[in-house]
Amino acid sequence: MKLTLYQVDAFARQPFEGNPAAVCPLDEWLSDEMMQNIAMENNLSETAFFVKRESDYRLRWFTPATEVDLCGHATLATSHVIFDHLGYDRDVINFDTNSGRLKIRKEGDRIVMNFPASEVNPVEVPDVLEDAVGLPPQELYKDTDYLYVLENEEQLRNLDPDIRLMKEADARGIIATAPGDDVDFVSRFFAPAVGVDEDPVTGSAHTMLTPFWSSRLGKEKLVGRQISKRGGTVYCMMMGDRVELGGYAFTVLQGEMSI
């Protein structure tokens, strides 16, 4: 059996930037075990699988280790494939996902994703988390992930966390963030518990970053930069209990996988 497979750099205008995701269109679902094996074989932070239905698409995401309920960069990559490679002639894509219905639209070359906003709840700092990060936070919040707020961009760039200890944190991942020097805010994202030591650009993390920085800075439109080695820019809009996340994508590979 042969499957078409795309590799797309999400939140990037050119190759070798942003966050690479694999995208696999399906006519019908494979077994969970097979999709997990394909994601492990791809060895990217996410592989997205989708099946077309009458008026929308069902979308699922897998890391090399497990299925996850929401992935922003792989949603952006999937939307790019549908818009640019599969002859989709409408401006809006509707995805049915484990995180509910997601509406994606195209504005010129930019793809804009509408996601539910995450809650931003203050919590006490677990000793293991502070030991793992290597310095205390200014503030700490938690929803699916921890939001670990630092004083400035320099601190964030210089972080050298203990990835092994981070696995012990009771969360999907740790979003470290600080005010940006040239953008509204900067971030890094660590999720070794789901097989991703440091993610290059994390759309789902911005569902928590956007409400936090929108409240902190008193503005609805923000620009965030994830300052991983590859780096990527996310254009954010706070909309009540939803957030809009915009970015660009670039296809670097198209081929077939034999299974």
CA 46 to chain centre: 9
Which tokens belong to 186? Answer: 């900067």
Q: Give the number of other Cβ atoms within 10 Å of residue 135's Cβ.
A: 13
Locus of tokens 């996410």 = 46
Catalytic residue, from 17, 28, 46, 153: name it: 46
Which tokens belong to 162? Answer: 């203990």
DSSP string of 222-246, one letter each residue: EEEEE-SSS-EEEEEEEETTEEEEE
Task: Give the three-class secondary structure for 41.
Answer: helix
Task: List alpha helices for 86-219, DSSP H.
Answer: 127-133, 153-157, 163-166, 206-217
Closest by CA position to 103, among listed 66, 55, 45, 67:
55
Identify the bridge partners of residue 250 per DSSP, sorted by sequence position: 9
Note if 46 is an active site residue.
yes
DSSP string of 59-88, one letter each residue: EEEE-SS-EES--HHHHHHHHHHHHHHS--
Counting beta carbons within 10 angstroms of the beta carbon of residue 187, is it exposed (0 to 12), middle (13 to 18) or buried (19 or more)?
buried
- Residue 52 near residue 79, CB atoms below 8 Å: no
Catalytic center residues: 46
